[in-house]
Structure 1
Amino acid sequence: MTSPSPSPSPAPALTARLAALSPRQRALLQARLAEAKPQERLTPGQRRLWETHHAIDGRPADVVCQVVALTGAEVDLDELAARLAGFVRDHEALRTTFTETDGEIRPVVRPDLPPRVTRAHCATAEEAHAAARDLAHEPFDLAEGPLFRVVLATGASAKEAWLLVVVHNLVFDAWSFQLLLEALGRDAGATAPTVTPFSRWARGQETWVAGDAGRAAAGYWAAELADAPPPLPTDRPRTGTTTRTGARVEFALPAEVGAGIATLAKGAAASAYAGWLAVAWAALAEFGGHPDVLLGTFTAGRDRPGAESAVGYLLNVLPVRLREAGDGSWAARVRAARDASRAGLRHAAHPGELIDVPRRVPGTHPLLDAVFVFDALEETAHTLQGAEVSTTDVDKGVARYDLTLAVHPGAEGVTGWLEYDTDLYEEVTAERLAELFTVAAGQASREGGR
């Protein structure tokens, strides 16, 4: 009896099939193969967050902490818990943990890592905020996870409930939180949008940085920050170590101040952001005694196709240098702020952590000691199981930077806060800086209203 002939090797057949692919088909195959690869290293932003987490012994400086009030309809918390679990299954970032071996940190996407969901009762908003703060201060185990925690709480009545969300920034940012609210409120029969894995975005960032555009951006930032001004003065010396314990000084301004600054900015062909940035510049220049000011500002990092649907830490923190105020008028200052921010936006995809200049600030961010947060967007109206959704960012008692100045103009007035590192600043100093800002805002507004 003759033995059967061995089966032909599949290699020639596979080679022939690959050779027959069109250029477009080959490109699609290469993209899919790339997506199958795990994220091999941290992004520059994630590495900074990792280092900060360990430098401050896990205190929640880089932690999203949101209180979501659900009112006007009875909410099925069991269904909400199931939706949360589904959101984690859909987004690999929320199933990611981080291991360190021989000094190398590697993201590990787990096939199954449910969120930590617990139940509670919060009779008041104060109780909800306190519970969220407690949740944020529980240490995160970055190697074991999960890094996504939720408390589902009943409220004072059947038509009131609370969703308390705490997530480490290593896997989540403010845009991701909006994606979460959209997913939780989506009708059961609605088609969910296509999800972009965070690892795909991270690989795209790495490719961009290594390419021509990335090298051009690196050159721009190096030139822009040459001979950068010194950090702002502090009440106590910067030692390079900090607990990042923080406090806030809150302030409010009437609606006409916001309207006046918006008018001033419009007259300079600038956005309201540039108008308020000019106010921050003036206040910090007076505070520091130096007309040249370097501020951090935030970009979403979602300009590439598909990035709008990615959950993860895509946020980029970039400097904006403000130094030439022209004739000193508010209009000239706004134009200068406009030009500086527009120039930086053309290179906003470059990770701020990779900007290589001599200026270095001791602490948790190598380049920036002060940042400016501006949010004039109307809150997107969300509903969840028929209940109205309202969200509040919780003060966790930490300071992400030495100083953070946040401004929120609205139809009913302007609110804001100055967050400061209590290891570096006294409360009276922070109050003085907040007053410098509000006085400057009033002056700018009056010029805009003329």
Structure 2
Amino acid sequence: MTSSPSAALTARLAALTPQQRALLRAKVLRTRPQERLTPGQFRLWETHHAIGGRPADVVCQAVRLTGATADLDRLAARVEGFVRDHEALRTTFEETGGEVRPVVHEVLPPRLTRSHCATAEEAQARARELAHEPFDLANGPLLRVVLATGPTAQEAWLLVVVHNLVFDAWSFEMLLDALDRDSDEPAPAVLPFSRWAREQAAWVAGDAGRAAAAYWAAVVDAPPPPLPTDRPRSATTARHGHRVAFSLPSGVAAGVAALARREAASAYAGWLAVAWAALEGFGGRADVLLGTFTAGRDLPGAEAAVGYLLNVLPVRLRDPGDGSWAARVRAARTISREGLRHAAYPGELIHVPHRVPAEHPLFDAVFVFDNLGETTRTLQGAAVSTDDVDKGTARYDLTLTVYPGADGVTGWLEYDTELYEEATARRLAELFTAAAGEASREGHR
């Protein structure tokens, strides 16, 4: 008597080793994928291929642990657990029939390796090399982590490299939280990225989304010309880049914060006013259109989602009033508050004529105010310091990034080396630091 097909299949499955069974589950048992990429993911996908896979849109962080001996085995297990908890990090992207589809795997381990880094320069170089290794978007994994010992027992490194298609700055902070969570604490709530993506699409299609679309269309109507460059823009770019670093003492940061408080504005609005003044001096126009990063956690529960929720939205600054710092801060405050009401709208859906020949045709300059790392962190009793590693790429023509901290402000101006000379970038960075000094003096009055 011959066995039935189902019995034969059962026998074959029973004969598999545990490793073979896990591989089979990873291939066959998948959660329901998103039907399509989010607008932000689609832009990242297009950019990835347009620039030949260079890591312009790749998170590259060197985390230094000092003052205590880190248990690297425990950290490795926590990273693996974080991947199991968050489907975005088990996602790959397949292209069939001209369409790209995200696929969530039940099992997709991160790439975890061990190393030794004797210096900070060596750690950053290792992270940079890891970022430049091509990403296989179809097969993954898209998360790479190096756990490295340091020159002493009380120093270690955690190098995190992950494609932006599945990760952003908020997700990185969530990872650090998970690595340090007490094992007795209950696991925090998790929002699957696919669910957030469906909720975003529904919000965009609803009344609030339509109102936001109208608001942003008005913001970018009749935009000013792009900022001047040293060399002409072309329709394609390799996005090779470099950074000019700067720092400002705590007194300057305190003065800008005091100026913002005086005008009932946030610290972000104060520094946005500083960036406005610098870009006005650089481009010769009071009407400045730039992009700004928002966390994209506006929809309910989104703060518990890992993935690319980051949103890049326009900021239009065009009326400095009497030119005083108070007037600039008030204008930045008003624009920021109005924009926040519509911040859930994907920036990629804002329909405008191509202002610049780039992957994001609206922006040539972006301002980033990153205060996520302001709080002092420890991990397994070790002090944590993080460094956003310069990958030698440029996400936009110009990106001005400001990191506030207890000891002042650090930051950098990232520029596309096909468009700008280093001397020009340094001049813009100097315009920014000089404007910050002026605003600070006004704030201290």
**TM-score normalised by structure 1 residue count:** 0.90
Give the aligned residue type for 1:94.
Answer: L
Is the Cα contact below 8 Å between 1:45 and 1:351 reproduced in 2?
yes
**Which residue does the alignment assign to 2:267?**
272
Give the Cα separation in 2 of the matches to 1:59 and 1:378.
Answer: 26
- Deviations along 1:325-375, one digit per CA (max 9) or x if unpaired, are 111111111111111111111110000000012243111212111000113
1:413 CA drift (Å): 2.3
Tell me the alpha carbon deviations over residues 77-108 of structure 1, each in whole angstroms, 9 at most, x when there is no partner. 22222221111111100000001112100000
Q: Hey, what does 2:327 align to over in structure 1?
A: 332
CA shift at 1:388, angstroms? 2.7
My pick for the range that moved more, 71-80 or 334-343, is 71-80
Runs of 4+ aligned residues of structure 1 deviating over 6 Å after TM superposition are none
**Could you say which residue in structure 2 is the equivalent of 1:425?**
420
What is the aligned-residue RMSD (CA, Å)?
1.5
Counterpart-to-counterpart distance in 2, 1:381 and 1:252: 19
| Mapped pair 1:163 → 2:162 | no
Alignment of 1:408-447 (within 5 A): 408-447=403-442
Which whole-Å CA distance do the structure 2 matches of 1:261 and 1:161 have between them?
Answer: 35
Match of 1:217 in 2: 212
2:71 to 69, 76, 82: 76
Matches within 5 A, 1:287-298: 287-298=282-293
Instruction: Please give the alpha-carbon distance, in whole angstroms, between the structure 2 residues aligned to 1:70 and 1:78.
Output: 15
Aligned with 1:97: secondary structure?
strand
Equivalent of 2:134 in 139, 143, 150:
139
Structure 2 counterpart of 1:88, from 83, 86, 101 = 83
CA distance in 1, matches of 2:248, 2:94: 47
Residue 384 of structure 1 corresponds to which residue in structure 2?
Answer: 379
Partner Cα separation in structure 1 for residue 70 and residue 281 of structure 2 = 51
Query: Following TM superposition, by how much is the alpha carbon of 1:73 offset from its aligned partner in structure 2, in angstroms?
Result: 2.4
Equivalent residue letter for 2:426: E
Per the alignment, residue 348 of structure 2 pairs with: 353
Pick the aligned partner of 1:121 from 109, 116, 124. 116
Residues of 2 paired with 1:59 and 1:244: CA distance?
A: 8
Tell me, what secondary structure is at the counterpart of 1:192? Answer: coil
**Retained in 2: the 8 A contact 1:182–1:382?**
no
Output the CA distance in 2 between the equivalents of 1:435 and 1:45: 32
Matched position secondary structure for 2:420: coil
Question: Are 2:222 and 1:244 aligned?
Answer: no
**Conservation of the 8 A alpha-carbon contact between 1:287 and 1:433:** yes
1:257 is the counterpart of 2:255: no
| Alignment-mate amino acid for residue 438 of structure 1 | T
Aligned equivalents of 2:397, 2:90: Cα separation in 1: 31
- Mark the CA change 1:360 to 1:183 in structure 2 (over 3 Å): closer, same or farther: same
C-alpha separation between the residues in 1 aligned to 2:101 and 2:164?
A: 16
Instruction: Indicate which of 182, 190, 193 corresponds to 1:195.
Output: 190
Deviation at 1:378, TM superposition (A): 5.4
Partner Cα distance (1:408, 1:70) in 2: 20
| Unpaired runs of at least 5, structure 1 | 1-34
The structure with more radius of gyration: 1
Answer yes or no: is 1:99 the counterpart of 2:94.
Answer: yes
Paired residue secondary structure (1:371) = strand
Provide the secondary structure at the position in 1 that maps to 2:59. strand
Contact 2:374 2:405 in 1 (8 A): no
Cα 1:88/1:336, change in 2 over 3 Å: same
Between the aligned partners of 2:65 and 2:202, the Cα distance in structure 1 is 42
Counterpart in 2 of 1:396?
A: 391
The change in CA–CA distance for 1:380 and 1:306 in structure 2 (over 3 A counts) is same
Distance 1:388 1:246, change over 3 A: same
Task: Name the stretch that deviates more: 331-340 or 261-270.
Answer: 261-270
Q: Are the equivalent residues in 2 in contact too, given 1:230–1:359 (CA < 8 A)?
A: no
Query: Relative to 1, partners in 2 of residues 1:385 and 1:444: Cα closer, same or farther, differing over 3 Å?
Result: closer
Residue aligning to 1:47: 42
Shift of 1:39: 0.6
Which position in structure 2 is the counterpart of 1:323?
A: 318
Q: Deviations over 1:139-190 (max 9, x none)?
A: 1010010000011111112222111100000000011111111111111222
**Distance in 1 between residues matched to 2:356 and 2:119, nearest whole Å:** 41
Residue 153 of structure 2: SS of its match in structure 1?
A: coil
In structure 2, stretches of 5+ residues that fail to align are: 1-29
Aligned residue identity for 1:367: L
Q: Is the counterpart of residue 186 in structure 1 residue 174 in structure 2?
A: no
Q: Is the 8 A contact 1:194 1:309 kept in 2?
A: yes
Which deviates further from its counterpart, 359-368 or 85-94? 359-368
3-state DSSP class of the match of 2:333?
helix
CA distance, structure 2, for counterparts of residue 382 and residue 376 of structure 1: 13
Which residue among 203, 206, 209 is the counterpart of 1:208?
203
Name the CA distance, whole Å, in 1 between partners of 2:426 and 2:376: 34
Partner-residue secondary structure (3-state), 2:191: coil
Separation in 1, partners of 2:166, 2:237 = 24
AA paired with 1:186?
R
Can you list the C-alpha shifts for 1:86-132, whole angstroms capped at 9, x where unaligned? 11111100000001112100000011110001111111111111111
Distance 1:243 1:133 in 2: 17
For 1:90, the aligned partner's letter is D
Q: Secondary structure at 2:435's aligned position in 1?
A: helix
